[in-house]
Amino acid sequence: MIENPSQVRPSAPLALKVAGASFSYGQKPALADIDFEVHAGEAVALIGPNGSGKSTLLKGILGLIQRVGGTVEVLGSYPAPVGSIGYVPQADEIDQQFPVTLEQVVMMGRYRSLGWLRLPGKRDRQAVAHALEAVGLAHRAKTRFGELSGGQQQRGLLARAVASGPRLLLLDEPFNGLDQQNRDALVGTVNRLKAEGVAVVVSTHDLQLAREVCEQVLLLNGTQVAFGPRNSVLVLENVQRTFREVGVEIDEHTVVVPGHTGH
């Protein structure tokens, strides 16, 4: 297992800046007062119990739900520059019966930069092949998406984001229900993207993942509990405040949150 150096790189350009942001679903406030930033090549883990606002924050950054206060800037601008964000939704949100191949799903990552009315060309097909290679699924390109395992579907959705050439990658619970092999493949791809300068925000229940991929941690519980370097944020007091309802144990190496540590 590769431990990532916990260094912060203030010299790297700012990829995402969220300042005093609040989001709501219609009239109902969902998440308030979020403040954090991510630099190029850096990763932030969003950690919190179910319903704490992790998915809401990702959708808020994407502009899929209403922002009622504060600012969200991607690469210094709002709305985000076209094609700058790659989004990896949870695979179980996808229609399993839809007649579409893995290759076609990954090609969807190219559509935005292609623009309306134009058909994919050689460069797009190369980008798709490269993205499938990157997640280790080149041999399944022609398989129907719904026939892939849950873990392979998740990697396929990551490949779709990779094919779009994002500067900021948002992953929503990518490790739920994954076996070790799929998990390692996903971690490897995300770490490679980081090395290429992609900023990453990943929501997870999996504190081990935070350790393998993320330098920074944002603890959420309907509001922001703490944000900062992983080791200074993941301390017992903060984690207890985040997971109020459930018991928490912590020692030097592990935080055990019942019901949230398993896959």
Partner 1 sequence: MGYFEKALLAAAVIGALSGLVGAVVVLRRRTFFAQALTHATFPGAVAATIVGVSIPLGAALASILIVGIMTLIGRVKRQGSQVASGILLTAGFALGVLLQALNPSLPVQVDSYLVGSILTVTTGDLALAVGVLGVALAVIVLLGKEILFSTFDPSGFRAAGFREWPIELLTLALITATVVTAMPAVGAILAIALIAAPAAAARLVMRTTAQILVAAPLLGAAAGLIGVLLSRAIDVAAGPAIALTAAAFFLLALGGRRLLRARLRLRS
Tell me the torsion sign for CA atoms 190, 194, 197, 200.
positive
The rounded distance, in Å, linking the Cα atoms of 235 and 252 is: 9
Which residues within the stretch 234-263 sit at the binding site for partner 1 (CB under 8 A)? none
Least CB distance to partner 1 at residue 164 (A): 7
138 part of the interface to partner 1, by CB under 8 A: no
Which residues within the stretch 150-179 sit at the binding site for partner 1 (CB under 8 A)? 157, 160, 164
Contact in structure between 169 and 161 (CB atoms under 8 Å)? yes
Q: Nearer to partner 1 by C-beta: 151 or 156? A: 156
Q: Nearer to partner 1 by C-beta: 201 or 210? A: 201
When computed from its CA atoms, the radius of gyration of the chain, rounded to whole angstroms, is 18
195 part of the interface to partner 1, by CB under 8 A: no
- Taking every pair of Cα atoms in the chain, the longest distance, rounded to a whole number of angstroms, is 56
The rounded distance, in Å, linking the Cα atoms of 24 and 222 is: 11
116 part of the interface to partner 1, by CB under 8 A: yes
Least CB distance to partner 1 at residue 256 (A): 33
Order of strands, edge to edge, in the sheet holding 14-25? 28-39, 14-25, 66-74
Burial class (CB in 10 A: 0-12, 13-18, 19+), 228: middle
Pick from 101, 149, 176, 208: which binds partner 1 (CB under 8 A)?
A: 101
Pick from 45, 85, 106, 190: which binds partner 1 (CB under 8 A)?
A: 85
Looking at 164-261, list the stretches that DSSP marks H as alpha helix, in order from N- to C-terminal side. Answer: 180-195, 207-213, 230-233, 236-242
The number of residues that bind partner 1 (CB under 8 A) is 32
Least CB distance to partner 1 at residue 179 (A): 23
130 part of the interface to partner 1, by CB under 8 A: no
125 part of the interface to partner 1, by CB under 8 A: no
Contact in structure between 132 and 138 (CB atoms under 8 Å)? yes
Count of CB atoms situated within 10 Å of the CB of 134: 19
Residues 14-53, mask of contacts with partner 1 (x by CB under 8 A): ----------------------------------------
Binding residues (CB under 8 A) for partner 1: these are: 59, 62, 64, 80, 82-83, 85, 87, 89, 93-95, 98-101, 104-105, 107-109, 111-112, 114, 116-117, 119-120, 144, 157, 160, 164
